[in-house]
Amino acid sequence: MRGDAKRSGWRRREVGAALALLVAATGRAVGAADERLERWRAEWPRTDFGRTTVPLAEIRDGGPPKDGIPPIDRPLFLPVASPPGLDEREPVIGFGLGEDRRAYPLRYLLWHEIVNDEVDGLPVAVTYCPLCNTAIVFDRRVEGRTLDFGTTGKLRRSDLVMYDRQSESWWQQYTGEAIVGAMAGRKLAMLPARLESWAEFRERAPEGRVLVPENRRLRPYGLTPYAGYDSGRIPLLYDGPLPEGVPPLARVVVVGERAWALDLLRERGRIEVDDLVLSWHPGQLSVLDAQRITASREVGSVRVQRRRGAALEDVVHFVTFAFVFEAFVPDGRIEG
């Protein structure tokens, strides 16, 4: 009896100590969260942190301050026929409306992430998140207002969090949704674009134009600050769930809530599902491999189109990483 009472006393003390540690840890976490929110409020006095669509705890500081990664607000272009010094295999975001076709090289987007532009009269934001390898073009108009975008220096699920200068609301790049601020819950329309090689764009848009920097010495363009990232084992600044049976940094092709492994598409060359046609061909380099982009390994180019009668039309899609698809489409499945 006496031994049982002693063991019972030990258990009570152990449980009490564990609870005390839990309370202390919770208190520290809450204190740290409160301190971070106060710091954000001081940095972002115009942002309404009382309006959110996601838990603020999911957003983390990425390192740079507000616009520490400076967007391009006055984009400068040269005709495709004027050589900008790009390697034939370097990736560009190819986008066009009407006869206005433009290429946005990733060697510049790596260092700026957002280009506020106007194509054929339409205000657009051309964006690239290196940690997720997501290249997305948005219509900048929301409910009759034209927004201009910058970088917050924050990340959610390793993905770029943008902000609009009109309300200073925060926007998730992968979804195009405002997640914090007065615009919370609004969504930007995504527009079809291609992540293709410079040679491919030049061939299909010989009358097009290509983005060039105003100051070529502003950043070490042609080098990547993410050398070796896409051959690593784990994503940077990410603490969410990882996909099962697929390397987190394996590339996948995403259309809505469906995804296909890039390796599968590369092996087959072409995949047709319902009215979708996915194709892969060689000739494009990674910008997340060797420090000098031109020394990087090839990943190839993807084209995703939808059948419209006898014609094929480009479809909004991402060539991103498996962990990104898992983070934003947790119930989705990667084919292959």
Round to whole Å and give the CA distance between 41 and 46. 8
Round to whole Å and give the CA distance between 49 and 67. 19
Output the CA angle 59-63-64, nearest 5 degrees.
110
Contacts with 217 (C-beta within 8 Å, 6 or more apart), sequence order: none
> How is residue 317 written in tokens?
């899609």
The arrangement of strands across the sheet holding 209-212 comes to 76-79, 209-212, 100-105, 91-97, 194-197
Round to whole Å and give the CA distance between 206 and 212. 17
Helix, strand, coil fractions of the chain, as percent rounded to 5: 25, 35, 40
Exposed/middle/buried for residue 2 (C-beta within 10 Å: 0-12, 13-18, 19+): exposed
- Give strand pairing partners of 313: 306
Round to whole Å and give the CA distance between 54 and 179. 6
Round to whole Å and give the CA distance between 106 and 115. 11
Residue from 143, 103, 142, 146 nearest 126 by CA:
103
DSSP 161-174: EEEETTT--EEETT
- Give strand pairing partners of 124: 117, 139
Q: Which residue has the tokens 């942190």?
A: 49
Output the CA angle 104-96-317, nearest 5 degrees.
75
Round to whole Å and give the CA distance between 289 and 224. 8
Q: What's this model's pTM, rounded to 2 decimal places?
A: 0.90
The per-residue pLDDT for 336 is 86
> How is residue 270 written in tokens?
């072409």
The per-residue pLDDT for 88 is 97
Round to whole Å and give the CA distance between 233 and 224. 19
Cβ pair 196, 202 in contact under 8 A: no
Here the contacts of 180-185 (C-beta below 8 Å, separation 24 or greater) are: 180/47, 180/48, 180/49, 180/51, 180/52, 180/53, 180/54, 180/56, 180/59, 181/47, 181/48, 181/49, 181/51, 182/48, 182/51, 183/142, 184/48, 184/51, 184/52, 184/53, 185/53
Output the CA angle 45-27-38, nearest 5 degrees.
5
Q: Which residue has the tokens 């615009």?
A: 183
> How is residue 189 written in tokens?
């329309």
The per-residue pLDDT for 30 is 55
- pLDDT, averaged per 10 consecutive residues of the chain (336 residues), comes to 46 44 42 86 97 97 96 97 92 97 98 98 98 98 97 98 98 98 98 98 97 93 97 94 95 97 98 97 98 98 95 97 97 92
